């Protein structure tokens, strides 16, 4: 049995053979079918098709996308395309697979468990040799900790960083709660201050031992760093007399300057640090982010003022914070060892 629409199309075909015009055909159909009649546009379109020789009164076969796009075949098709080029947009995948965009989105998110993220910036694309070196350094340190549970009690770590007179707060820091009727706060676009000072910090699991503010215009070269180490030795003697007396302290530093002769001369053992590894340096993954986060968004009147504030923040760090830092350091080394030297970022491993 023909459907109502197909029946009307059959009548249109019959009327064309009788020599009726398109308007006459539409008027006759309206008299018979009333409100159920095809629209004027549809009648005229079918009238033209039959005049051009069309025989079939049925619907044209639908081409393209199947009624249900989330089939196993389509899931596999999308997976293959994404594996070839992970930068493709949902629209591009839809055009390549002839699957509607919503189905592509569901396949990506629900079936493949994928989401689109930006590439993570890392210090360096590590070579296999550099990854192996990172693993070896971690293994050596972890063996020292296993042999001597108090190993970290004797480690003094250090690094240098720039402290800015003004550093704009992050977008997350500027977030605030608002009601539906309250206005959204605005802030002007600001740039980082050109005035800055370099700080070198030495600390251990008990607290900050020595802070050196590099004079403006001074380059941290071999000579200058030797002088810093001389001041450090004096601070260790005064602030860590037990470590000084037993000569038990170990220096951990990420410094490319050649001061090995000085360290050997003064019997200062060094804990090896792999190059391009800020994720394994307590200053970089803990201390400096903590200080700089507290300074962001505050405009200081002078570089001396920001130095004073940074020093105050450093001295306010508790032993609990530092013990947590060293625990995280050990965990990071374990993860680096277990995952072949890949970069660590928080709880995630960055593979490059």
**pLDDT at residue 292 above 60?**
yes
pLDDT of residue 224: 93
Tell how strand 155-164 and strand 250-253 pair up.
Answer: parallel
- Which CATH number among 1.10.10, 1.20.140, 1.10.20, 1.10.3470 corresponds to the domain 4-52? 1.10.10
pLDDT of residue 254: 79
Please indicate whether the domains covering 4-52 and 128-171+191-339 agree at the CATH topology level: no
pLDDT of residue 319: 93
Q: What is the mean pLDDT of the chain?
A: 86
66-70, 96-100, 337-341: lowest mean pLDDT where? 66-70
Token pair listed for 19: 């020599």
Q: Across residues 265-291, what is the average pLDDT?
A: 93
193-225 in b/e burial notation, b at 16+ Cβ within 10 A? eeebbbbbbbbbbeebbbbbbbeeeeeeeeebb
Q: Across residues 324-328, what is the average pLDDT?
A: 95
Token pair listed for 72: 């196993």
Residue ranges per structural domain of the chain: 4-52, 72-111, 128-171+191-339
pLDDT of residue 350: 42
pLDDT of residue 53: 86
- Note the pTM of the prediction, 2 decimals: 0.66
| pLDDT tens per residue across span 139-164 | 999 999 999 999 999 999 999 999 98
Token pair listed for 347: 């709880």
- Cα distance between residue 319 and residue 321, in whole Å: 5
| Main-chain dihedrals φ then ψ at residue 162, nearest 5 degrees | -90, 135
Specify the residue for token string 């002078």.
Answer: 302
User: How many Cα atoms sit within 13 Å of 171 on the Cβ side?
Assistant: 0
Q: In what order do the strands lie in the sheet with 250-253?
A: 207-214, 196-204, 155-164, 250-253, 270-271
pLDDT of residue 285: 93
- The CATH code belonging to domain 128-171+191-339 is 3.30.420.10
């Amino acid at each position: 049995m023909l459907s109502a629409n197909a029946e009307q199309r059959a009548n249109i075909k019959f009327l064309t053979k009788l020599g009726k015009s398109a308007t006459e055909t539409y008027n006759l159909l309206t008299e018979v079918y009333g409100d159920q009649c095809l629209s004027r546009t549809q009648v005229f379109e079918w009238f033209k098709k039959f005049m051009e020789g069309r025989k079939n009164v049925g619907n044209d076969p639908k081409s393209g996308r199947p009624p249900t796009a989330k089939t196993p075949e389509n899931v596999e098709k999308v997976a293959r395309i994404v594996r070839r080029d992970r930068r493709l947009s949902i629209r591009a995948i839809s055009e390549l697979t002839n699957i509607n965009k919503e189905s592509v989105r569901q396949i990506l998110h629900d079936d493949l468990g994928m989401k689109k993220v930006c590439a993570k910036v890392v210090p360096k694309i590590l070579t296999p040799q550099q990854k192996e070196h990172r693993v070896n350094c971690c293994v050596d340190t972890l063996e020292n900790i296993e042999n001597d549970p108090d190993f970290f009690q004797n480690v003094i770590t250090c690094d240098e960083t720039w402290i800015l007179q003004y550093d704009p707060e992050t977008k997350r820091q500027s977030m605030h709660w608002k009601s539906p009727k309250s206005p959204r706060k605005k802030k002007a676009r600001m740039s980082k201050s050109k005035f800055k000072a370099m700080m070198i910090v030495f600390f251990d699991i008990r607290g900050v031992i020595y802070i050196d503010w590099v004079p403006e215009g001074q380059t941290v070269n071999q000579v200058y760093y030797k002088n810093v180490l001389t001041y450090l030795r004096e601070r260790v003697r005064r602030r860590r007399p037990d470590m000084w007396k037993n000569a038990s302290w170990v220096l951990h530093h990420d410094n490319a300057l050649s001061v090995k002769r000085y360290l050997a001369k003064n019997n200062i053992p060094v804990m090896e640090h792999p190059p391009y590894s800020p994720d394994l340096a307590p200053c970089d993954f803990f201390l400096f982010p903590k200080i700089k986060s507290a300074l962001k968004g505050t405009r200081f009147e002078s570089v001396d003022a920001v130095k004073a504030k940074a020093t105050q923040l450093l001295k306010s760090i508790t032993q609990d914070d530092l013990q947590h830092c060293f625990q995280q350091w050990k965990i990071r080394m374990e993860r680096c060892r277990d995952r072949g030297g890949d970069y660590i970022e928080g709880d995630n491993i960055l593979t490059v």
